[in-house]
Chains A and B, each alone.
Chain A
Amino acid sequence: DADVTQTPRNRITKTGKRIMLECSQTKGHDRMYWYRQDPGLGLRLIYYSFDVKDINKGEISDGYSVSRQAQAKFSLSLESAIPNQTALYFCASQEGEGETQYFGPGTRLLVL
């Protein structure tokens, strides 16, 4: 079984709709991250959380919100989706100040 899972894997939605992307990890890591990937731009950090009570904005948090429901679960919400939020979204986990981030398989989102 994968250590970091994301649901859904693909999602098509319409402008103005609220959607939630979910992430779970079984590695027992305390730190979790949400990234967005666009062609030619690499991975950009949206939000990160160092434990259940800790939520921090990343480079591109506008238009997004997150919830850390448990140590293993970190969800990303788009309150009112817009077409320029069409992208590939990755969740990642990390153990403390470890050197390695473990990525989920990604969610491909299309906003029409």
Chain B
Amino acid sequence: GQSLEQPSEVTAVEGAIVQINCTYQTSGFYGLSWYQQHDGGAPTFLSYNGLDGLEETGRFSSFLSRSDSYGYLLLQELQMKDSASYFCAVRDNYGQNFVFGPGTRLSVLP
């Protein structure tokens, strides 16, 4: 089976840095994705790690360690608009599908 764990909630202040962790157990692993979802909105793609290491896209970075079955999303210079839910998703079954984690709700305070 597959399971992913994320913290349910994280709170930080504007300008700060926050890290959202994701641990997974899957049968077959292809890569780890991160999606952002604002209240009432659709999930939107943020990043993908197919290999170990750090991927950087502007203020957001994502890290993967296959040996630890662990990844994280790092958000820097937090802005109020970053308040949203963040989901990690594992690409498993030899790349056929994505399995999503339960999501982490990030609240950015002024």
Chain A positions within 8 Å of B, measured between CB atoms, are 33, 35, 40-45, 48, 58-59, 90, 97, 99-106
Stretch at the interface among B66-74, B76-84, B94-102: B94-102
- Contact of A101 with B98 at beta-carbon distance under 8 Å, contacts A42-B87, A90-B43, A106-B42 already known: yes
**Bound CA–CA A59/B99 (angstroms):** 9
Q: Give chain B interface residues in 39-80, CB to chain A under 8 Å.
A: 41-45, 48, 50
Contacting pair A103 B50 (CB below 8 A) = no
Contact B31–A42 (Cβ < 8 Å)? no
A-B interface pairs (CB < 8 A), number: 45
Closest to A40 in B: B102
Q: How far is the CA of A63 from the CA of B87 in the complex (A)?
A: 26
Provide the residues of chain A in CB contact with B100, threshold 8 Å: 35, 42-44
* Chain A proximity of B27: nearest CB distance (Å): 13
Q: Which residue of B lies closest to A48 (CB)?
A: B97
From residue A75, how far is it (CB to closest CB) to chain B in Å?
A: 18
Taking CB atoms, residues of chain B closer than 8 Å to A99 are: 31, 33, 45, 48, 50
Output the least CB separation between A46 and chain B (Å).
11
Q: Which of B42, B97, B98 contacts A104 (CB 8 A)?
A: B42
In the complex the two chains form, is B48's CB within 8 Å of A100's CB?
yes
A58 in complex: contacting residue of B31, B44, B89, B97, CB < 8 Å: B97
Contact A45/B99 with A99-B33, A99-B48, A100-B48 known, Cβ cut-off 8 Å: yes
B8 at the interface (CB under 8 A from A): yes
State the CA gap A88–B27 with chains docked (Å): 27
Q: Which of A33, A59, A90 contacts B42 (CB 8 A)?
A: A90
From the candidates B8, B42, B89, B97, name the one contacting A105 in the complex (CB within 8 A).
B42
Known: A40-B102, A45-B99, A101-B45. 12 other contacts (CB 8 A): A42-B100, A44-B100, A45-B97, A59-B99, A97-B95, A100-B33, A100-B48, A102-B45, A103-B42, A103-B44, A104-B42, A105-B42
